[in-house]
Amino acid sequence: MSKTTKLPPIVAQAEWQPAHERLLAKEKAARRGRDARAAERRRQPMVPIDKSYALAGPTGKARLLDLFEGSAADPLSLHVRAGAHDWPDAGCDGCSMFVDQVGHLAHLHARDTSFALVSVAPLPNIERYRKRMGWTIPWFSSAGSDFNNRDFGVTTQAGEMFALSVFLREGTTSWPAGGVGSLTRRVAAKRALYLAAPP
């Protein structure tokens, strides 16, 4: 440990325990607040998506509905836009750390929830970085479409931003059903929180 690091006070167990319990009470209150926000997010109004987006994936052209990977029983989809810049050497470090924590998608698929990455970067750049990072999560390019910028406001003149978007599908119609922004990136990389996001 660095000599410049200031340690917390060292106290006896009898003094530590009540301090710890006060902290636990605050953490429980924060969790209840997060659960309430998730419930409010699920009740947000929705608008239908009537535009046919052309995305590019490793197997060819894809539509927004293709990101649902055939979910039928309860067709929900979580969609994260991962910033991909500084090609070909590196992508967004924060987004890369987020994706590293996603884990196996089987836990989401078992609950009829799909997960995909979408970036404005060209597909060849995406594929190089995906292989370098060892990711198996479906990753699509929205280059040349309005998907990331005009319609969902994730790409601006300042660059591409992180966002976690949720889409609901019924038949051949899909709706944006809410999402969380970059301030939640540090806590959103938990499968239980992903499942709290869809309606």
> In this structure, how many other beta carbons lie within 10 angstroms of the beta carbon of residue 117?
22
One-character DSSP codes across 117-130? EEESS-HHHHHHHH
- E strand spans, 75-152: 76-81, 113-119, 139-141
CATH superfamily, domain at 55-196: Glutaredoxin (3.40.30.10)
For residues 34, 39, 45 and 49, what is the CA-based torsion angle, rounded to 10 degrees?
80
Query: Could you state, in order of their start, the residue ranges of all structural domains in the chain?
Result: 55-196
Read off the pTM. Answer: 0.72
**pLDDT tens string 82-137:** 544 555 566 777 788 888 888 888 888 888 788 888 888 888 888 988 898 999 98
Intra-chain end-to-end CA distance of the chain, in Å: 46
Which residues lie below 8 Å from residue 81, measured CB to CB, with a gap of 6+?
117, 118, 119, 148, 152, 154, 160, 161, 162, 163, 164, 165
What residues form DSSP beta bridges with 180? 164
Average pLDDT of 162-178? 67
**pLDDT tens string 41-93:** 778 787 777 777 889 998 899 888 787 776 543 434 444 445 445 555 667 77
3-state secondary structure of 105: coil
What is residue 185's predicted lDDT score, i.e. its pLDDT? Answer: 39
- At 193, list the tokens: 């929180």
Which residues lie below 8 Å from residue 41, measured CB to CB, with a gap of 6+?
178, 180, 197
* Closest by CA position to 114, among listed 74, 155, 154: 74
